[in-house]
Amino acid sequence: MVSKKKKKYTSGEGVQFMTRKAALKKLQLSLKDFRRICILKGIYPREPRNRKRAQKGAGGIKTLYHTKDIKFLLHEPILWKLRELKVYQQKIRRARAMKEYPKMRKYLRDYPDINIDHIVKERYPTFVDALRDLDDCLTLCFLFSTFPSLKRVPRDQSVLCRRLTVEFMHAIIAAKALRKVFVSVKGYYYQVELEGQTITWIVPHHFSFQPQSKDEVDFKIMSTFVEFYTMMLGFVNFKLYHSLNLVYPPMLTATFSSDDKELVDEQAYVAERIAAMNISIARLAGANDIEELPEMDLFQAEGEDPQKLEEAKQEAEKVKKLKTMFKGLKFYINREVPREPLVFIIRCFGGEVSWDKDHFVGATFDESDESIAYHIVDRPSMEKQYLSRYYVQPQWVFDSVNARTLLPINKYLMGAVLPPHLSPFVDKTRDQVYKPPEERELNDPDFKPLNRDDSGSDIEEASDEDEEENEEESDPDIDPEKALTKQYQEEVDEDSPSEDDDNNDSDSEKKQLAKEKKKAMAVTTGVPHKEHPYQKEIEDKQAFRLREKLVQKKYQKLYKSMKAGQEKRKKEIWLLRKKRRLHDEKLKAEKKAEKKQQKLQAFQEATA
């Protein structure tokens, strides 16, 4: 019996994938609604192994989805809600066209809402699953909380993002979960630990918003992401507050006077003072402050490295000290200093903080309070100063958190030239990473930096070759990228001896060794054999080349890509070091010219 021949593209990748056009037809949705439901459900395009088979022989590059994902969407209840919304929109348009305004108002009043609670529960069955995926959620919510009312971003969404992010920061303060902070051009980076999960997000700087002249960013798609993320963050906040014995939504512990009630309504008063993050929020009835967990006994498992166990103990001890680093200290923030990030950081580690009551609501003590330990300022000088406190710059707070101890303040005093603000988000296990000299000096006490000028920058005397290189780089006819690549290759070639040189050197050394052997035939006093370091280096390189040839054929491409990646990282480090050297040389030249100008000016004044 002859078996029936299968038709082409009826099995394998031809069935596993579906184009976006076919998906729209199957779901009977518009492109806008399809994008929205894909974002909410977490469905994204896939890349097939063989595009020709997946596209059923069609040419070009099409957007492909897994067929099972599209079939999964067929059973989603939101599909019926989207169709219901479309019907309502048609009714509203018809009523407006027919000038039936009472009907139009009725339709707008009864406009159905989409509830996505079930999608959050479906995508994140456990609390830990939600915490693992919280990085993007927090970054986008903090970004939208700074937006004004835009064409594609409703004002209610920005207000909701602001409320949820403030609630989350209060939970972090109560849990003392903050571990690392970093200030960059993009904003403030924070890293916290919750339920054993590490969460990192970025908060943008609070500058005045500048609307875009062109539609470079699709705010509609971002707004759809925020629609899901706000629902998710609401779930996370609710769970966090109840695990910390806090009242949700947050409430103030202190009662307010009748004068305050007359000025503003109660809801606005509470919202403003909660956003100040300056006082503790209410706890559940009968709940006490969170007690410190007792020290855990760490037992060495079979085959476990005892050094790792000791490192884990030391890390736990450092984190315990970090949580109470600012306990019992009072901080006062000057009006030019960014208030919210510093309040959040200081409160996370047990400190008390206040500011000028005319600057923002919620100030708890005045500038004249004698118990203030640190006054944070960002200006070169102040007319009125108190002897009972230190005047430090904001970077001292960030660097102290990353160092996990209160750093000496002599480098951070008012008007001082600040030390470099190093990022704590560095993977210590990864090799081939550029480290600036300041970081190397900080981590390695035996590291000897180069000569330094008055500004604290490392200076290295430029040689004649470097001056020639700088002249080549400044030539407008030469492509700077090609010139740098050529220069890097020349340096690499100089550092690594060629094979011919290796062979010649090895031959001459062999002859010399043969002569020494002949002389050593006579009975003489024994001499200890000394290994030639250069000869050993050559032998190691030859052995390494032999090991490279033994790599299996199926792994050769992988090995080549690994070597290419190493070479690329090596080149990037070389470029960064060169940039740093040129920058330091420029600083030195400017300093020298400034001193020369001062001397000339002094001489002219003396002779005048």
Q: How confident is the model at residue 469 (pLDDT cuts 50, 70, 90)?
A: very low
Residue that is last in its domain, among 76, 92, 109: 109
Residues 6+ positions from 503 with CB-CB distance below 8 Å: none
Say yes or no: 234 and 369 in one domain: no
| CA–centroid distance for 99 within its chain | 54
Residue that is last in its domain, among 411, 446, 471: 411
In sequence order, the β-bridge partners of residue 413 are 392
Integer Cα distance of 586 and 596 in angstroms: 15
Q: How far is CA 310 from CA 300, 315, 322, 417, in A?
A: 10, 9, 18, 38
Say yes or no: 323 and 354 in one domain: yes
Domain assignment of residue 495, yes or no: no
Say yes or no: 96 and 132 in one domain: no
- Helix or strand run (H / E) with residue 310: helix 306-323
Greater pLDDT, 443 or 380: 380
Mean of the pLDDT values across residues 228-255?
87
Q: Is the dihedral of CA 233, 239, 244, 245 positive or negative?
A: positive
pLDDT digits (tens, 9 = 90+) for 59-115: 888 999 999 999 999 988 888 888 888 888 999 999 999 999 999 999 888 888 888
Integer Cα distance of 82 and 404 in angstroms: 52
Domain assignment of residue 149, yes or no: yes
- Helix or strand run (H / E) with residue 452: strand 451-452
Q: How confident is the model at residue 459 (pLDDT cuts 50, 70, 90)?
A: very low
Q: Which two tokens stand for residue 357?
A: 């009551």
Number of neighbouring beta carbons within 10 Å of residue 459: 17
Q: Please name the residue that has the structure tokens 């200290």.
A: 329
Integer Cα distance of 30 and 86 in angstroms: 10
Domain assignment of residue 473, yes or no: no
Side chain identity at residue 418, one-letter code: L
Integer Cα distance of 323 and 179 in angstroms: 9
Domain assignment of residue 586, yes or no: yes
Say yes or no: 271 and 160 in one domain: yes
Residues 6+ positions from 42 with CB-CB distance below 8 Å: 123
Number of neighbouring beta carbons within 10 Å of residue 230: 20
CA angle 373, 379, 382 (to 5 degrees): 65
Integer Cα distance of 104 and 88 in angstroms: 10
Q: Is the pLDDT of residue 468 over 50?
A: no
Say yes or no: 244 and 143 in one domain: yes
Say yes or no: 190 and 160 in one domain: yes
Surface-to-core class of residue 69, CB atoms within 10 Å of its CB (0-12 exposed, 13-18 middle, 19+ buried): middle
Residues 6+ positions from 222 with CB-CB distance below 8 Å: 140, 144, 153
pLDDT digits (tens, 9 = 90+) for 556-576: 889 999 989 888 988 888 998
Backbone angles phi, psi at 458, to 5 degrees: -75, 135
Q: Which two tokens stand for residue 48?
A: 């097939």
Domain assignment of residue 502, yes or no: no
- Look at residue 286 in the predicted model and tell me its pLDDT: 65
Helix H segments across 404-498?
A: 437-443, 464-474, 480-495
Integer Cα distance of 492 and 575 in angstroms: 13
Side chain identity at residue 124, one-letter code: Y
SS3 track for 114-167: CCCHHHHHHHCCCHHHHHHCHHHHHHHHHHHCCCCCCCCCCHHHHHHHHHHHHH
Domain assignment of residue 302, yes or no: no
Q: Which range, of 113-127, 412-426, 429-443, averages the lowest pLDDT? A: 429-443
56, 2, 65, 12: which is closest to 38 by C-alpha? Answer: 65
Say yes or no: 187 and 327 in one domain: no
Integer Cα distance of 250 and 246 in angstroms: 7
Domain assignment of residue 525, yes or no: no
- Is the Cβ–Cβ distance between 226 and 144 less than 8 Å? yes
Say yes or no: 228 and 124 in one domain: yes
- Helix or strand run (H / E) with residue 66: strand 64-66
Integer Cα distance of 309 and 585 in angstroms: 46
Domain assignment of residue 489, yes or no: no
Q: Please name the residue that has the structure tokens 């890097």.
A: 488
Residue that is last in its domain, among 109, 129, 149: 109
Greater pLDDT, 444 or 7: 7
Integer Cα distance of 19 and 85 in angstroms: 26
Integer Cα distance of 453 and 594 in angstroms: 13
pLDDT digits (tens, 9 = 90+) for 186-207: 999 999 999 889 999 999 998 7
What is the domain-level CATH number for residue 398? 3.40.50.10190
Q: How confident is the model at residue 295 (pLDDT cuts 50, 70, 90)?
A: low
DSSP characters over 320-357: HHHHTTTTT-EEEE-TTS-HHHHHHHHHHTT-EEEE-T
Q: Is the pLDDT of residue 299 over 50?
A: yes
Total count of domains within the chain: 4
Say yes or no: 258 and 367 in one domain: no
Backbone angles phi, psi at 17, to 5 degrees: -115, 155
**CA R_g for the chain:** 34
In sequence order, the β-bridge partners of residue 190 are 181, 201
Say yes or no: 561 and 433 in one domain: yes
DSSP reduced 3-state for 593: helix
| CA–centroid distance for 385 within its chain | 37
Q: Is the pLDDT of residue 519 over 80?
A: no
412, 421, 427: which is closest to 188 by C-alpha? Answer: 421
Mean of the pLDDT values across residues 360-382?
88
Cα separation of the two ends of the chain: 118
Say yes or no: 155 and 266 in one domain: yes
511, 452, 176: which is closest to 324 by C-alpha? Answer: 176
Say yes or no: 60 and 89 in one domain: yes
DSSP state of 555: G
Q: How confident is the model at residue 447 (pLDDT cuts 50, 70, 90)?
A: confident
- Look at residue 495 in the predicted model and tell me its pLDDT: 59
Of the chain, the percentage scoring pLDDT greater than 90 comes to: 33
DSSP reduced 3-state for 595: helix
Task: Label residues 529-566 b or e (16+ Cβ within 10 Å = b).
Answer: eeeeeeeeebeeeeeeeeeeeeeeeeeeeeeeeeeeee
Residue span of the structural domain in which 38 resides: 13-109
